[in-house]
Amino acid sequence: MQLLNKAVVTEHLNMQAAIDVIEALLHQQAAHPSWTKSPERLVINTFTDSDSHRSGSHLSMPATMYDGENEYTVVKLVTICPDNPSRDLPTTTAIITVSNNDNGSILAMMDGIYITQVRTAALSGIATKYMARPDCQSVAVVGCGGMAYEQLHAVLTVRPDIKTVYLWNRHTEGAQQFKTRFTRDYAQWNVDIKVCEVLNDAICNVDIINVATRATDGLFSVDQIKSEVHINAVGAYQPSMKEISNDVIANSKMVIVDDLIGSHHEAGDLIQAHESEDCTWVWNDLSGDLQALVTASLEEGSTNEEKNTKDDKAITLFKSVGAASFDAVVSLHVAKQAQKQNLGSLVDW
């Protein structure tokens, strides 16, 4: 078994590879639906909000995957601790195992923090590749936590002509730290990064908006953003959370999710929009999922463009909640690399 810590995973997993293997998986799932089995993840809430703790969650995410030659099981165990940034620790901790289903041998055990960040970001990258205008010049990052970091990396990977990045965080210090770190780690991206103290200054004139927060109310209205903006929303992963306002959702030309089943239970933005008497958007207006988008199999009339009459809005929205299959294909890619190149530490199990 190859034991791979975060440093090894980070060194040998790049964003373009993650985007490529997830796109390949989406095509494979369309051609061979039975090759991947990914049950809905188990979520257990941890703690309750109090003076000493904020509520978090523990997730168990198993998947089996056949690659045309062999079948594997990949399991990710995740704990989300919202208080961790104040302890100088990552909000999300995770560990992943990859095993061969032929004999049950464990091929690799790896740190899952970077896997989680990269696969979540890669989904936004894929959505941006297919949904955002090809001539995008600017992007706003709303919420500057761990998920946002690689999400920006993914967007720049598929839209390398972007020149300006605007950062907004509830605490400006977090945005400043984000800028310092991103400039250091990704110097190859020749972008001008601006920290904004006011959210509207970050979002009012950009081509792409990345949102990754734990907000419980929509953060901006449709009148605050450009008519053809593309939005990647990866926060609000529980029904009680919401970062995209109802009027933004209702005025979106296209709404795509990464996982059809999971989104109905976890995509707080869309769940609340559907349930609101004051919002015209309902689940039947959903354009489809990422697989249908990538494989060009969206049904005709699957967008709510006909309802999209306010100022001729042409907003596109990608909502991600995550699924074990995406973790599995990226983890399997890393595990196969580890075996071929003898990465990490070889451990007898």
The larger pLDDT score, comparing residue 217 to residue 90, is at 217
What CA–CA distance (Å, rounded) separates 76 from 61?
Answer: 5
Interval 291-333: pLDDT, tens: 999 999 886 444 443 443 444 569 999 999 999 999 999 999 9
The yes-or-no verdict on residue 166 having pLDDT over 50 is yes
Coil, strand, or helix at residue 29?
A: helix
For the chain, what percent of residues have pLDDT higher than 70? 96
Query: What's the start-to-end Cα distance of the chain, in Å?
Result: 7
Is residue 324 within 8 Å of residue 64, measured between CB atoms? no
Predicted structure pTM score: 0.91
The yes-or-no verdict on residue 231 having pLDDT over 50 is yes
Q: What angle do CA 55, 210, 9 make, to 5 degrees?
A: 75
Residue type, 223: D
| Mean pLDDT computed over every residue of the chain | 93
The average pLDDT across 33-61 equals: 91
- Side-chain half-sphere of 81: how many Cα atoms within 13 Å? 14
What CA–CA distance (Å, rounded) separates 180 from 163?
Answer: 17
